[in-house]
């Protein structure tokens, strides 16, 4: 995968000269995460702060763990829906 550098405005102009449809070939966030996980499943995908007091010791979530939880959540939503697959939206409180 090609590394993209943002050093100055010329770099941004060069990147934006290519249409988005040609730069981004994934069709969903899930597909994007899956592709990233395939490169290095053990790499940290995100850092989660349990509280503001523990900012110096965040919980590390790898791509493997994140995809596992996403799949687990999707399966739960399908089960709650009575087995009907398809797109779902979850609105946090």
Cβ-based neighbour number of residue 48 at 10 Å: 9
Q: What is the mean pLDDT of the chain?
A: 84
DSSP readout, 29-79?
A: HHHHHHHHHHH-TTSEEEEE-S-GGGTTSPEEEEHHHHHHHHHHHHHHHHH
From the first residue on, what is the mean pLDDT of each consecutive set of 10 residues in the chain (93 residues)? 79 90 84 88 92 88 94 85 64 62
pLDDT at 2: 65
Residue boundaries of the structural domains of the chain? 9-80
pLDDT at 20: 86
pLDDT at 28: 87
């Amino acid at each position: 995968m090609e590394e993209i550098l943002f050093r100055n405005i010329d770099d941004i102009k060069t990147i934006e000269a290519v249409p988005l449809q040609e730069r981004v070939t994934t069709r969903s966030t899930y597909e994007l995460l899956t592709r990233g996980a395939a490169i290095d499943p053990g790499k940290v995908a995100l850092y989660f702060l349990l509280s503001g007091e523990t900012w110096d010791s965040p919980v590390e979530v790898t791509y493997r763990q994140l995809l596992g939880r996403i799949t687990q959540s999707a399966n739960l939503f399908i089960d709650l829906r009575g087995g009907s697959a398809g797109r779902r939206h979850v609105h946090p409180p």
